[in-house]
Structure 1
């Protein structure tokens, strides 16, 4: 979740805005690309992937994949791979409208994390995850254990720093860049032998991100990104995924001196007095205040938070949880921030 210096993460986006691409709409499924990489540029197997401190050898394009997170599921669906997904898990939000039809036949193993037995019951030959907690001790299973059963695995590069999973117990030391997300898309496309679909998806995201940030500049107005939990708010720090949103729109994160997603006290928030609140509307009930209505009720009813000018002036932007995570939906988040800016920017 930012630091005040402008990060290099979206440096290439302005150039891509000049390309005038005609890609799909909001994070849409790429049509008719399931075999797009056949012929020239087709994946050569066995494929060896260096992935967050592990080496994975993919003997052939996976046919039965389980995705342990919504983020990776929506990438796979966007690549046209719904027929190969035998299970998904860990959802914070409804599926994108543009992917709803593709998702209809995909089994959901669990709304949160499945058990190892449930995972094996889907009979996967490949497992993906956006967050390394699933592969940590006490999670779904370890990658070593999957290797022992002949199942290859993949972890999003957005959750990796110096060969360790951030969400699995590591520490982020360098700012997350959008290139990590694009690497994930391209690597999954290569693994599944749909390289052209991967390039088309990346180009579409680049074009939309450039358009969503064109002319948007909050001029350093301060912001708090609140993901979850009313008791001890889980907020965006300075090096993680929300930094992708703040840096590109000229927002200054009040917690940009922290590494990723710290837990803070409300006293810290009130002392910092953010100009704007960006809050997560999570369609789950894992922590108190996951849902937007509960967050708003808390902000307006708590004696401490109701003193915030951002609350009193209703300077609140609601994003889905997936739009605050390092996923293809970061573009949807940028577009919502842009829409709020167009309507309210002159009043700041």
Structure 2
């Protein structure tokens, strides 16, 4: 279990200020519309008998009223593995499911697209607390001992509330480590760090190590087979937006992914992770390949129809040649899907 209030906080480190754009979440935070869900009973983790207390560092992030973000890290002691966990974003839910921890989950929320097929059965066993973020009331109603968030907004005032306040009432928290990469790119190492940290917290480090190894091998195989064909092809990620496209920039996981796959993000010099740009900028940069996100709020077919139906975009190389690649939104944020997505991108880039 997560140790109680002040006993658990070992240190708070590396506090930094940054504007919202440097760590902006790619999905909006909607006001909670959920209703309380009765708590479910969960067994104590099997690893508990042999569990050795661990100290695990988590990213922390708080946005103030002026739009600035305080990020840092805080270390916490876990004296036993959590048995009543809640995940607040899809990509972190899939980390838990990949580590076979579903029986220790009492809730999940905020699904952006389809859960991976191999985890569907496990996912169905976990109560869905809300389509987006559940309210703090709903969360506390489940009597959780651990909350795992993938975006800063998961611990916003309209969702679970601050990590500090949750820790004070004995609830452990973990926020994806890449959120603290203010001004520097997200990388696969961030994903591996998160998997390893969750493995330590739940006493399943061997599973975590095996998962990290498998993902790293998948990436290595994909990139070694991709080869080199001269200059890196220019690639544009089209997430959403009709009048002005929303895209991944400098510090997003996508930029790291496409570079690993042998391509170049045409907006890799723009600060932050995600930005709204203009179609004129896209035309000027003339992408040779366009990656389209598939998500509940914006389908890939809608974006294809827009690209092919707008005469102003007709001379873009990727549009003329209809070189489109579709990736689920969940593949573009730090998580277990990144490795497979890199393989798909490497194949597309090499063609």
TM-score normalised by structure 2 residue count:
0.78
Taking the aligned partners of 2:145 and 2:270, their CA distance within structure 1 comes to 38
Task: Write out the 4+ residue segments of structure 1 that deviate beyond 4 Å after TM superposition.
Answer: none
Name the SS for the 1:88 alignment partner.
strand
Does 2:246 correspond to 1:234? yes
In the alignment, which residue of structure 1 is the partner of 2:280? 267
Q: Which deviations, in whole Å up to 9, do the C-alpha atoms of 1:41-63 show, x marking residues without a partner?
A: x6422x32221222323231000
Equivalent residues of 2:287, 2:318 under 8 A apart: yes
In the alignment, which residue of structure 2 is the partner of 1:181? 191
Does 2:171 correspond to 1:159? no
Does 2:156 correspond to 1:148? no
Q: Structure 1's 278 and 108: CA in aligned 2 closer, same or farther, altered over 3 A?
A: same
Count of residue correspondences:
291
Q: Which deviations, in whole Å up to 9, do the C-alpha atoms of 1:302-341 show, x marking residues without a partner?
A: 2333332211211111101111111110112122224435
Taking the aligned partners of 2:314 and 2:138, their CA distance within structure 1 comes to 44
Aligned with 2:322 (options 300, 307, 314): 314
In the alignment, which residue of structure 1 is the partner of 2:137? 117
Equivalent residues of 1:280, 1:291 under 8 A apart: yes
Counterparts in 2 of 1:29-178, with a 5 A limit? 43-45=51-53, 47-52=54-59, 53-161=73-181, 172-178=182-188
CA RMSD, Structure 1 to Structure 2 (Å):
1.9
Does 2:217 correspond to 1:207? yes
Taking the aligned partners of 1:48 and 1:309, their CA distance within structure 2 comes to 51
Deviation at residue 117 of structure 1 after TM alignment: 1.6
Q: Structure 1's 251 and 339: CA in aligned 2 closer, same or farther, altered over 3 A?
A: closer
Name the SS for the 1:228 alignment partner.
coil
Deviation at residue 137 of structure 1 after TM alignment: 3.9
Does 2:203 correspond to 1:193? yes
Of Structure 1 and Structure 2, the greater strand share is in 2
Equivalent residues of 1:181, 1:327 under 8 A apart: yes
Q: Which deviations, in whole Å up to 9, do the C-alpha atoms of 1:19-40 show, x marking residues without a partner?
A: xxxxxxxxxxxxxxx85x789x
The higher-RCO structure (CA 8 Å, 6+ apart) is: 1
Equivalent residues of 1:237, 1:261 under 8 A apart: yes
Gaps (5+ residues) in structure 1?
Answer: 1-33, 162-171
Name the SS for the 2:326 alignment partner.
strand
Q: Which deviations, in whole Å up to 9, do the C-alpha atoms of 1:246-305 show, x marking residues without a partner?
A: 1112211110102321221111111111111011011x12xxxx1111111111122333
Equivalent residues of 2:134, 2:159 under 8 A apart: no
Equivalent residues of 1:43, 1:190 under 8 A apart: no
In the alignment, which residue of structure 1 is the partner of 2:269? 257
In the alignment, which residue of structure 2 is the partner of 1:6? none
Taking the aligned partners of 1:64 and 1:122, their CA distance within structure 2 comes to 8
Name the SS for the 2:93 alignment partner.
helix
Equivalent residues of 1:86, 1:124 under 8 A apart: yes
Equivalent residues of 1:324, 1:330 under 8 A apart: yes
Taking the aligned partners of 1:110 and 1:300, their CA distance within structure 2 comes to 36
